[in-house]
Amino acid sequence: MSVALQLIVSGLALGSIYALLALSLVIVNKSTDVVNFAQGEMAMLGSFACFALLTGANVPVAVAMLAAFPIGVVFGVLVERIAIHPLSSAPPINSLIATIGLFLVFHHLAGWIWGYDPYRFPSLFSPDPLTLGDVRISQASLGILAVSLGVMALLYLFFEYTKLGIAMRATSMNRRAAQLMGVNVSRVSLTAWGLATGISVVAGILIAPLTFLDFEMMVTVLLKAFAGAILGGFNSLPGAVVGCLVVGVVENLFGAYISTTFKDAFAFGIIVLVLMARPEGLFTRLAGTKV
Amino acid sequence: MTQIGAKRVVYAVTGAALLAAPLFLSHYGWFILCTAMVYALVALSLNVLVGIAGQISIGHAGFWALGAYTSAIAVQSFGVPFVVAIMLGGAMAAVFGAIVALPALRVSGHYLAIATLAFAVLVQQLLFEWESVTGGRQGLPVPRPSLGAELTSDFSYYYFLLALFLAAAWVVGNLRRSLTGRSLEALKQSAVAAQCAGIARARHIIFAFALSGFLAGVSGAVYGALIGRLSTETFSLTASLSFLTMAVIGGLGLEFGALLGGAFLALAPEVLRQFKDAEMVIYGVTLVLCMRFLPHGLVSLARLWRRG
């Protein structure tokens, strides 16, 4: 029983990292109608930038961690202005192809600059487990959960109480109406990309100590985030979070009790099953389209 | 020169160039030409799915793999003639195409993209784990086909692939102008309006996926015979992504665009190889720039040139 509990807690921690990336995907998708296949690679490149701060400039670990979010914001804003914004009037498949192009650029750029070997990434959290009764829980898992939940809480406050957050919600509901009400849609798109990339870089530095830092590290994480987001409904932020937590926990239990070989394939099985049975996700209702 | 006259000249020049190209090249050149034809078939299959039916797939490496493995196993284990094996490969991929169409009936756009992606990743993993049949990590050897005459050199194989592509392009061109093609076009414009006009959406979408799967499967079958050895690594997510990008970069409106897309994907690594580590970075930048400045693909260059 205690083993299962440990698996559940570490699954929740893993799931909360997926959830951060899924939140980035959903925020970008809701405000600009683009599915950003490069989101994971942007997180990876941002994590490498933090790593460069750590090793090159000898910044303390805590400062480098705090730098993750602003680095991501700047990165996201630049990408949006240079590559995505000019495509806003082209057919939707074009921005999809452009993000695939960006995926390739960032993926291989990291390999080009930092080489193809994995690096050890320092963790803020101590490796010693906490013992509660007969359950041993790693501090890293609890730390990851705490950071993720903190980011989600801040995000909630942002969307609920700031003018810009409300403008973003309005735009995602009806872009044209929001524009007519005086919302600067271009700035909403810029904010979405900045915010999303900031969050995804935080996800990157949270997972880097677990998986090592290398140019491949975010590819499967991105696919898991997609799985979780679809499970919860791609249009709902809380849905995506719950979906990703479920994916993290179930994946951990599946790997421990059923099959490690198919641990990764399992997430894709979820995608296919959910899309066939309940495409709107478990927690949202599909909006009808008018003709 | 009239429009139609100009079109005929373009076709004649392209046809002559395609027929004559191997005469000016050596072994490696023939291999690249064959690869371009294999890719052009995949681009054609995506033309059907994305260009005509308005669906999307970033999982075509899955159909490609199914075609490649089915035909290789048919030839190896059951001694089926090559042409029949190609058709079997196509048929297997078509069946799976129809299955992948099921989520497409309920979701569209980004969701469908992710569903097809998941399908391709599943296919790759299953082929990798199913070692007794597919050879797993050791790979599966594929014999060179014989077709009455031996197709042992890439020189003769190229002409076989060219004929195959032209036949497929002819079918797709006719489909575009047929009732089914027009119905798919109407469904793409507005599914609800087309259904009100009496078009059966489910049947048409399943047909488009099956046909697209079939063409991709055929391409996979002839690819296996070209390379001589199948390895599951080939059928990765990267392959699926490259396929969609080449189809869009070639242009989705015309069969000619598939040819350009295939040539682009076959030639880009050759041209970019000299840049070593920067190779894929430059490729990615090219994709982004193409989308920015040439949103309708390479095939639209001709239109721009005529106007300009």
Residue B200: pLDDT band by 50, 70, 90 thresholds? confident
Q: Is A220 on the interface with B (CB under 8 A)?
A: no
Q: Which residue of B has its CA nearest to A97?
A: B245
Q: Which of B121, B127, B240, B282 is the best residue to mutate to test the A interface, defined by the most A CB atoms within 10 Å of its own CB?
A: B121
| Interface contact flag, B192 A289, Cβ < 8 Å | yes
Give me the mean pLDDT over the B139-149 stretch: 74
- pLDDT tens sequence across B74-133: 988 888 888 899 999 999 999 999 998 887 887 777 778 888 888 898 898 888 888 888
Would you say A194 and A80 are in contact if contact means Cβ atoms under 8 Å apart?
yes
Asked whether the predicted pLDDT for residue B170 surpasses 90, the reply is: yes
Residue in B261, B284, B259 with CA at minimum distance from that of residue B14: B259
Q: Which residue of B has its CA nearest to A114?
A: B277
Most confident of A77-86, A208-217, B15-24, B137-146: A77-86
CATH number of A2-277: 1.10.3470.10
- B8: its two tokens: 């005929």
DSSP H helical segments within A174-262, as ranges? 175-180, 185-211, 217-232, 237-257
Q: Is A48 on the interface with B (CB under 8 A)?
A: no
Give me the mean pLDDT over the B149-168 stretch: 85
Specify the pLDDT at position B146: 67
Q: Which chain A residues touch B50 with a CB distance below 8 Å?
A: 93
Residue A291: pLDDT band by 50, 70, 90 thresholds? very low
Q: Is A265 on the interface with B (CB under 8 A)?
A: yes
C-alpha–C-alpha distance, residues A289 and A283, integer Å: 19
Would you say B11 and B259 are in contact if contact means Cβ atoms under 8 Å apart?
no
| Interface contact flag, A100 B245, Cβ < 8 Å | yes
Q: How many CB pairs under 8 A join A and B?
A: 125
Q: Which chain A residues touch B286 with a CB distance below 8 Å?
A: 101
Specify the pLDDT at position B4: 66
Specify the pLDDT at position B134: 82
| Integer CA distances (angstroms), A42 to A201, B107, B239, in order | 7, 27, 21
| Interface contact flag, B111 A94, Cβ < 8 Å | no
